[in-house]
Structure 1
């Protein structure tokens, strides 16, 4: 398909996205949310730099921070939101614009499990977030007492979440464990989203 033909079949906004994908690969907007100290900023850093490049220890995010990352053929725009209670009112606003909601949880923090579950449930009740896929990352899998995927699924009540795709990974931002698997899932989702958009335009 030539650019002029493609532009004639779709609006300019859709055409611009089609052209960017053709040149640079698919892209996704991610909203990173979760309780304070779960590892949201660490995950954003691992996406940008790779494991083993810790630099300074991340400070708690105040409000939100944005970053753009390119890994292989996938382009990611991340909004990393503060997990303290006073910042959670911002979550809904930024999650509404996301293609994937990424919930990061400290898998070794059993004491915070109930608060994490309740905060996640409250966030997902928003009508503006209906249908947006949920990616749950159980971070700090390298620590003693870290819960595996079955325990995280039960603790967060993920089986009770309906009307959206839900995927859970056990990861370690410190060691880079399973980060590649997460990137493969994100890439697959980005390609699926692009394919569905093409099919809608063609119908």
Structure 2
């Protein structure tokens, strides 16, 4: 069952192309590492900011080509140039940083009106949601003007809450 994007991609081509975008320090690279190792990331060290776009091949029971895009304001102009190729887009939002939510809402709104994204699945992921000082789902949902389906990853399995 599922959304259909994965079965469609696996039958018509051998690689699912995933683009991950979001503001800087939103946890995009940590999310990629989590996908790459199939384990929940508990990264405590600082990540180096991604400049431009980094592509990573991830092979599990399916092949993924993941594009990790830099999130600094001066780098977001490249997002539209890579948005015509992915099968799915992940938009990462730091669930601990209230000061960046308005910028995240603006960046997400820009993506939602992009012609290259018509009929492309876009998933908003709240990162760092396992931390104590995270914002509530209601705060995130209201500030970003979203309807939320609550999902969490716990011990390598997907749980719908």
**TM (normalized to structure 2)?**
0.79
1:91 and 1:178 map into 2 onto residues whose CA distance is: 32
Structure with the greater alpha carbon radius of gyration? 1
Aligned-residue offset at 1:58: 2.1
2:101 and 2:127 map into 1 onto residues whose CA distance is: 13
Alignment-derived partner of residue 7 in structure 1: none
1:59 and 1:169 map into 2 onto residues whose CA distance is: 29
**Which runs of structure 2 are paired with 1:35-114 in the superposition (5 Å)?**
35-49=23-37, 50-52=39-41, 54=43, 57-71=46-60, 73-114=61-102
Aligned-residue offset at 1:131: 1.6
1:158 and 1:68 map into 2 onto residues whose CA distance is: 30
SS at match of 2:120: coil
Kept in 2: contact 1:36–1:82 (CA 8 A): yes
Q: Do structure 1's residue 115 and structure 2's residue 103 form an aligned pair?
A: yes
Aligned-residue offset at 1:170: 5.7
Would you say how many aligned residue pairs link Structure 1 and Structure 2? 150
SS at match of 2:123: strand
1:84 and 1:123 map into 2 onto residues whose CA distance is: 15
SS at match of 2:90: strand
Q: Do structure 1's residue 132 and structure 2's residue 109 form an aligned pair?
A: no
Kept in 2: contact 1:170–1:178 (CA 8 A): no
Q: CA RMSD in A?
A: 2.8
Aligned-residue offset at 1:157: 1.5
Kept in 1: contact 2:30–2:41 (CA 8 A): no
Q: Deviating runs (4+, > 4 A) in structure 1? A: 17-21, 52-56, 167-171
- Higher fraction of helix: 1
- Higher fraction of strand: 2
Kept in 1: contact 2:22–2:28 (CA 8 A): yes
Aligned-residue offset at 1:168: 5.1
Match of 2:21 among 28, 33, 54: 33
Kept in 2: contact 1:103–1:137 (CA 8 A): yes
Match of 2:146 among 158, 167, 182: 158
Kept in 1: contact 2:33–2:41 (CA 8 A): no
Q: Do structure 1's residue 181 and structure 2's residue 158 form an aligned pair?
A: yes
